[in-house]
Amino acid sequence: MLSNILIKDHKGGYVDFKPFMPEDQLTSSNEVIRPLPRQKGRGHFSSFAVCKGLDIGICRCRFDEDYMARFTLKKPFFTFGFCIKGHCLLQGSSLDYAVPMAADRSYACFFKGREVERKIKGQQEVIALAIHVSIDFLLNLLNADQSQDAHYSDLPGRVIQNRRFYADHIMTAQMKTAVYQILNNPHKGRVEQIYLESKALELIALRLEQVFRTQIFAGCNTAMGSDEMERICRARDLLVENRQFPPSLRELAGHAGMSHTQLNKGFRAMFGCTVFEYLRKERLAYARMLMEENPADLTWIAYESGFCSSSHFAASFLKEYGIRPSAYRKSLPKGGLMR
């Protein structure tokens, strides 16, 4: 779906971001690989043309310097994104705000315009996956039976009419598993095409269910300037970095250069919850990640995540995920989810 990609070079100008192989020599999986220029860091971007109207993009890079790229789109599309590590900003020509992407987050957005910019700060590793779907693809996917789930089938029309859409949530364990399965895809040829399509559809379904379950749609199109978005993201980053011993709401607002009322309002608009509701969810997501990676005692995990007691942690985990921490740990495959 991307007709052209330009990358900002060390002189401040934009040059073509060339793929690893010519378009006429693509592999059977229709994968295009773009290695990150050596002066920018290490790693590569790859994209898969899975089927008509559905592409998958993957970033596996360690950025030594700031990175900025400009994309020209063939046509508007919806993006479902999933970030494992790092953070960046996307800016569309039809948007008056930046779309942030951060670790352990899933997001959905729609770009009406044809030009998009991606900005990534240096000195960080970014591992992320994005699923791009055309308007027609999503319409066909959701309009299969309009007599049921009308709120889903009506989504593309409402979004297109509003010209913008953005929703950001914590990645669920199911999403994370599917993302790692795509990142570690062992298949080739036609089987790979089928596998990637099935996993992409699974992630789209999980993402749409998450958006509507939290009833965030009404607030996700709230107009917000890029400066305000960046201030809120700075506050969020500080909150996440200090999840065990977080700053007070007033301290956090002061760090962002906002009043605590403005900050809470901004969090509601961007994330569908208050600042400390967000903190609770982040603590639970971090605890879940520790459980998936670490065989440590659950009491230690509770305190490490910022909960005052293991009983409080267990009750919060059950309320958020519908399963007790001990039962969730038992349900994990041997060796955990991380590969």
What global pTM score does this model have?
A: 0.63
CA distance linking residue 24 with residue 16, whole number of Å: 18
pLDDT tens digit sequence for 213-263: 554 444 444 455 667 777 887 888 888 888 889 999 999 999 989 998 989
> How is residue 139 written in tokens?
């319409």
> Would you kindly state where each structural domain of the chain is located, as residue ranges?
2-220, 224-272, 273-339
Task: Name the pLDDT band for 154 (thresholds 50, 70, 90).
Answer: low
Q: Are 266 and 305 in contact (CB under 8 A)?
A: no
pLDDT tens digit sequence for 272-306: 678 888 888 888 878 887 887 777 889 999 999 99
CA distance linking residue 89 with residue 247, whole number of Å: 25
pLDDT tens digit sequence for 11-40: 778 888 877 654 444 444 578 889 999 899
Query: Does pLDDT of 3 surpass 80?
Result: no
Q: What is the mean pLDDT of residues 164-177?
A: 77
Residue 4: beta bridge partners? 72
Residue-wise burial string across 274-290, b where 16 or more C-beta atoms lie within 10 A, e elsewhere: ebeebbbbbbbbbbbbb
Task: Name the pLDDT band for 66 (thresholds 50, 70, 90).
Answer: very high
Q: Which of the given ranges, 98-102, 122-126, 273-277, has the highest pLDDT on average? A: 122-126
Higher pLDDT, 333 or 197: 197
Higher pLDDT, 220 or 64: 64
Q: Are 204 and 56 in contact (CB under 8 A)?
A: no
Map residue 257 onto helix, strand or coil. Answer: coil
CA distance linking residue 165 with residue 41, whole number of Å: 32
State residue 95's pLDDT score: 56
CA distance linking residue 214 with residue 277, whole number of Å: 13
State residue 13's pLDDT score: 81
Query: Does pLDDT of 5 surpass 90?
Result: no
Q: Are 109 and 79 in contact (CB under 8 A)?
A: yes
* CATH 2.40.50.140 fits domain 2-220: no
Q: Domain 273-339 in CATH: superfamily?
A: Homeodomain-like (1.10.10.60)
pLDDT tens digit sequence for 67-80: 999 988 778 888 99
